[in-house]
Amino acid sequence: MNFFYTNLNSIYESEDSLKLIMPFESLHLYLRDFFLNNLKKKAPVIDPLDFSFRYKIDTLKTINLFLTLSNYGLLKKLYQLECDECNEIAFEDSIENFYECFVCKHPLLNLSEPSFDKLFNNISYAFEFCDELQDELYHDLKVPPSLSSNKQSDDKGGDITTIQSNFSVSDVLKHTDVSMSSITSEQCIIKQQIDDFLAKGIKTIS
Ligand SMILES: [Zn+2]
């Protein structure tokens, strides 16, 4: 029994937003190929924009896909923020945990920023494998699966594809397309985190 294939298949069946990307078999091959590459190069985290860029898949659909996989527990979602002062990258599973840089102690979120938009503009998404997926992928690295030879053949039928070089928490907050259901649910999660963040002693941002 193949853990990733089986789980991805059942997620695909229940999430219409994934069907907007490509047929299941292709999506499975792309994702597996991408994940194995991440393991091979020992990437500390998985960058969804790298997936979007590599396979020419719309950024919004890609972010929605990765958020969906994390909602179902295949991936773990992380927020990534680079310190303005020393460029050290911090990862947290909730934005309310960004306090100060653990290297230089510089405050990570500039609370004097006049708007939410700017405040969360530099927080992006990164992901990790869940343990079961990571174990299976490690096993596959030793016995590589044969990738489909017609990888480039599934044209996405004239959809408008936008590949962005960055995609931040602010982009999620600005988002209005309800067909991207995981992005819509991420908006609620972030708004809750912002409330918690504000409740921790920051009076107003306005
Ligand atoms: Zn720093």
Q: What is the pLDDT of residues 31-68, one digit of tens each?
A: 999 999 999 999 999 999 999 999 999 999 999 999 99
Average pLDDT over residues 134-159: 66
Phi, psi torsion values for 157, nearest 5 degrees: 60, 45
**Model confidence over 157-179: pLDDT tens digits?**
556 788 888 899 999 998 888 89
Taking the centre of ligand 1 as the mean of its atom positions, its distance from the CA of residue 90, in whole angstroms, is: 9
Q: List Cβ neighbours of 83 (8 Å cut-off, separation of 6 or more).
A: 89, 90, 101, 103, 104, 106, 108
The 10s digit of each residue's pLDDT in 175-194 is 888 899 999 999 999 989 88
80 C-alpha vs ligand 1 centroid, how far in Å? 13
Going from the Cα of 114 to the center of ligand 1, the distance in angstroms, rounded, reads: 22
- pLDDT value of residue 183: 95
pLDDT at 144 over 70: no
CA of 59 to the centre of ligand 1 (A): 29
Q: How far is the CA of 111 from the centre of ligand 1 (A)?
A: 16
Distance from C-alpha of 125 to C-alpha of 167, rounded to nearest angstrom: 8
* Residue at token pair 């996405």: 156
Distance from residue 140's CA to the centre of ligand 1 (Å): 38
